[in-house]
Structure 1
Amino acid sequence: MEHFQAILRLDTSNPPGNEGLVVDYLEAVLKKNGIETKRFANDPARPNLVARLRGTGKKRPLLVMGHTDVVKVDPGKWTHPPFSATRDGGYVYGRGTVDDKDNAVAGLMVMLQLKRLNVPLDRDVILLAEAGEEASTQFGIKFMVENHWPEIDAEYCFAEGGGVTRTGGQIRFATVQSSEKIPYGVTLTARGPSGHGSTPLRTNAVAHLAKAVARIAEWQPPMRLNDTTRAYFERLAAISSPADAARYRAVLTPQSAEAQEHFAVNEPRTNSMLRTSVSPNILAGGYQVNIIPSEATATLDVRALPDENIEQFIEEIRKIVADPAVDVARNDRNTRPGAPPSRIDSEAFFAVEQAVKARYGANVATLPAMSPGATDMAYLRAKGMQCYGVGPLTDSEDGPKGFGAHSDQERILESSLHTFVKFNWDIVVKVAGAR
């Protein structure tokens, strides 16, 4: 808790990042305990920290990863100051409590305990405290993969992306991110002659853009499962109510239109796992009320399935728009590489399943999941590393209350943090410990 609060109190909002604040702290703690560390930086203020405990080399290394930057905050919407790490009512409040300084401190504690107990290892255990995960990977994982790959090369990786879901005080299941969608930006640009607002024009760029956005929003791209999502729905059906189970099983067959529509309306996250998704998120056009603008734009957030052919998908968007006055162009600001899902029959996945039962309950199911969002494991999977996203227990009610990752507030149960550290210990020792 001391280390967790210390790094939560360091403002590493991205932009600008300033991840060096957390790296300084972690490096000092690791060095004090005799653990080998190295810094790598594309920007001196935004370094990455690599710590390594050496094993016998019988097996390839294990990488444990957590990012040190956080998303920005609106302080006026926080009950407790966002960088105060306030403990109140069994919770710790602060930006980064569940994204992702929980993973960073869990990784730190595992390294310290492995060193203190002198645990025999068949694999090197590598801790990567990385910069820039929140929208600037050129300072973090992209930089490390392209310039310092030997320092982090491993057979397996554990990082953010999963979690344990509790609803109404009852643990429902654990998810392990074994795949993720790939973010792309697409810009719609409508053009037409400008003019006086007192004389409406059929060529009005704003009107053409509005129709194009409406068509995109109403479009449901085709559903497609992969190994991860198929296993997710099969296992989720086995632990769900009869009505929910029927819907989850329905998407395993082509005749699932009714179930898909139910998910689109009632479970949008589930719906997003089924397909490449498109969300129109930014509109811009006009600068004065009595002037018809000559140009208006919309930015679409596309989250593609890992094997999606993005150029063909953009061509489908053009067909949906079906308007020569509207240009459709790819606009990638923070995309990540596509890669096949990680295996769910590996020793690392089995270790996670065992730890879930040991720490959260013998009857708690582990579901492989494809994240609709993006993590830095995409860069590692693209290099062939088998990666698994894990996370602490959170209450499903917290998100709607505004306490989730990227929300106006953020918090974690103290008990959840401590259990998550023990869970990380279990999976690291199981995978890397000497037999």
Structure 2
Amino acid sequence: MSPGAPGAVTAETVQEAVDLLKELVALDTTNPPGDEIKAVEHIKPLLERDGAEVRVFESAPKRGNLWARVKGRGSAKPFLITAHLDVVGAKKEGWESDPFKAEERGGYLYGRGVLDDKAMAAAGVTVLRLLARSMAPLERDVVLFLSADEEAGSGQGMAWMLKNHPELLEAEAVLNEGGRIVIENGRITHAAVQNYEKLYLDVALSAEGPSGHSSMPRPGDAITRLSRAVARVGAYEFPVRLNQVTRAYFSGLSRLPAHPLGKEFSMLVSRKRGPAFREAVRKITSDPAYNAGLRTTCAPTVVQAGFRSNAIPSSARADVNCRVLPNDDPRKIVEKLREVIGDPAVKVSAGQAEKPALSPEDHPFFRCVRSVLGEMAPGAVTAPYMSAGATDSRELRRRGLNAYGLAPFPVTLGDEGRMHGDNERLMLSSVSFGLEFLYRLTVRFAAAPVPSDALRGP
């Protein structure tokens, strides 16, 4: 079945997706509490109306998860599309419009969740409806899973589903969020397909000291000790290290014509060392996104101390969130933080961090992504990508599933930076592109018979 076959994307189906996205934004699923069942109950009849099989799972009261399927011949394992229905909170005073009333303005759609991750949900629903309407001759089942609780660790969403109903998520490949199609200087330059994640590691710093009245301070108080420790942690930079994914990613970017950092990317992956290499690293890592992909980072995020302005507290605590390169040992990261702090009176403790799994680049699904992008954005590069942030893909990869992160909606890096922030927005033209991309990708992977041996990664 080709992209031009019955059920293909039209202006009418793009409008369906936009309308659904607006409706999902209006359903406030801020987590906590989530209340994703509202979105699930809104989507369920749409899918059923077109003939998709639908099941709803409440992992806890009002924590809704939706599973839907369009069946194929079953000659190959299913293709799974997943997105999450919960969103982070939004403070209305920072927005130019109501974050929970999607507004079209200047060619953009504004609203909480339009990027993270309700556009993916709306596109997934629309593609499944198209496949169900057209009764496409698929070799694989196409499964859609819309989850709860991604923004708070997935305990009521993906992790719950994998624990309780893993057979429903069995798939040859999974498409999730986590990667991006990037617009630079008005054109699509590349797709960063997430197939690896950094480790998530929480570290706690704590200090104790003499308490008393603020009019008579004594040396060694808890806040002063902790403040010095936090400042040292915040200023420290871990060394730059490349792994197989980041080397392939920056190698791909080095091939982009006229990229302002093209020469630096080439130097970074060249294995040469010296002043030119160090200068290239300096320029590249001045961008926070590139910096996060090249080194372990530790950022102070929460400080707790004191109870009134005229009292010196006896204790103080700070939370530090580290995103650790997969090849770095979390225990050594904690040891390095103790060394950097240089004060044995400041206690450093850490949670557990599980080494992430890798989804192979040498896989037919990845090649399908590259093929579709080449058709829709000639000259654009498709490269594997390691994300600094955590997604539900970590849960899938732990169970041996090949999960790939790519929100198919082209964005500028500036607009991507609005996720979780004020005035989150998505270009309306990107909704159209993303829906067409997802439809073509789904049809290409699910309709083409691929020998099982060819699907095995290295």
Is TM (by shorter chain) over 0.5?
A: yes
Q: Secondary structure at the residue paired with 1:41?
A: strand
* 1:385 aligns with one of 397, 401, 417: 401
Checking the alignment, whether the CA contact within 8 Å between 2:94 and 2:422 is kept in structure 1 is yes
Find out whether 1:313 has 2:329 as its counterpart. Answer: no
How has the CA–CA distance of structure 1 residues 27 and 346 changed in structure 2, closer, same or farther, with 3 Å as cutoff? same
Report what 1:153 is aligned to.
170
Checking the alignment, whether the CA contact within 8 Å between 1:228 and 1:341 is kept in structure 2 is no
Report what 2:157 is aligned to.
140
Checking the alignment, whether the CA contact within 8 Å between 2:357 and 2:394 is kept in structure 1 is no
Find out whether 1:417 has 2:434 as its counterpart. Answer: no
Between the aligned partners of 1:307 and 1:160, the Cα distance in structure 2 is 23
Q: Secondary structure at the residue paired with 1:171?
A: strand
Instruction: Calculate percent identity across the aligned residue pairs.
Output: 36
How has the CA–CA distance of structure 1 residues 376 and 399 changed in structure 2, closer, same or farther, with 3 Å as cutoff? closer
Checking the alignment, whether the CA contact within 8 Å between 1:307 and 1:340 is kept in structure 2 is no
Find out whether 1:293 has 2:313 as its counterpart. Answer: yes
Root-mean-square deviation (CA, aligned residues, Å) is: 1.9
Checking the alignment, whether the CA contact within 8 Å between 1:63 and 1:128 is kept in structure 2 is yes
Between the aligned partners of 1:240 and 1:314, the Cα distance in structure 2 is 41
Checking the alignment, whether the CA contact within 8 Å between 1:120 and 1:434 is kept in structure 2 is no
Find out whether 1:39 has 2:56 as its counterpart. Answer: yes
Checking the alignment, whether the CA contact within 8 Å between 1:204 and 1:294 is kept in structure 2 is yes
Report the CA distance between 1:164 and its aligned residue.
1.7
Q: Secondary structure at the residue paired with 2:202?
A: strand
Find out whether 1:223 has 2:240 as its counterpart. Answer: yes
Report what 1:348 is aligned to.
365
Report the CA distance between 1:339 and its aligned residue.
2.3
Q: Under a length normalisation based on structure 1, what TM-score does the superposition of the two structures give?
A: 0.93
Report what 1:260 is aligned to.
281
Find out whether 1:373 has 2:351 as its counterpart. Answer: no
Find out whether 1:28 has 2:45 as its counterpart. Answer: yes
Find out whether 1:195 has 2:217 as its counterpart. Answer: no
Offset from partner CA, 1:296-343 (integer Å, 9 cap, x none):
1111011122344323322222222221110111247xx7x5323211
Report what 2:13 is aligned to.
none
Report the CA distance between 1:257 and its aligned residue.
3.6
Offset from partner CA, 1:358-383 (integer Å, 9 cap, x none):
22x21111121111111110111111
Report what 1:163 is aligned to.
180
Find out whether 1:270 has 2:290 as its counterpart. Answer: yes
Offset from partner CA, 1:250-285 (integer Å, 9 cap, x none):
333373443333334x21211111122101122222
Checking the alignment, whether the CA contact within 8 Å between 1:167 and 1:397 is kept in structure 2 is no
Q: How does 1:112-123 map to 2 (within 5 A)?
A: 112-123=129-140
Q: Secondary structure at the residue paired with 2:97?
A: coil
Between the aligned partners of 1:250 and 1:200, the Cα distance in structure 2 is 53
Q: Secondary structure at the residue paired with 2:265?
A: helix
Q: Under a length normalisation based on structure 2, what TM-score does the superposition of the two structures give?
A: 0.89
Offset from partner CA, 1:127-174 (integer Å, 9 cap, x none):
000000111411101101111111111120001112222233232222
Runs of 4+ in 1 over 6 A off after TM superposition: none
Q: Secondary structure at the residue paired with 1:65?
A: strand
Q: Secondary structure at the residue paired with 2:317?
A: strand
198-207 vs 5-14, greater mean Cα deviation: 198-207
Letter in 2 for 1:238: R
Find out whether 1:61 has 2:78 as its counterpart. Answer: yes
Gaps of at least 5 residues in structure 2 are: 1-17, 450-458
Letter in 1 for 2:390: A
Find out whether 1:428 has 2:442 as its counterpart. Answer: yes
Between the aligned partners of 1:6 and 1:133, the Cα distance in structure 2 is 20
Between the aligned partners of 1:248 and 1:379, the Cα distance in structure 2 is 31
Letter in 1 for 2:300: P
* 2:145 aligns with one of 123, 128, 138: 128
Report the CA distance between 1:241 and its aligned residue.
4.4
Letter in 1 for 2:429: S
Report what 1:364 is aligned to.
380
Letter in 2 for 1:145: L
Gaps of at least 5 residues in structure 1 are: none
Between the aligned partners of 2:94 and 2:240, the Cα distance in structure 1 is 38
Find out whether 1:239 has 2:256 as its counterpart. Answer: yes
Letter in 2 for 1:420: G
Between the aligned partners of 1:93 and 1:87, the Cα distance in structure 2 is 6
Count, aligned residues: 427
Between the aligned partners of 1:110 and 1:289, the Cα distance in structure 2 is 57
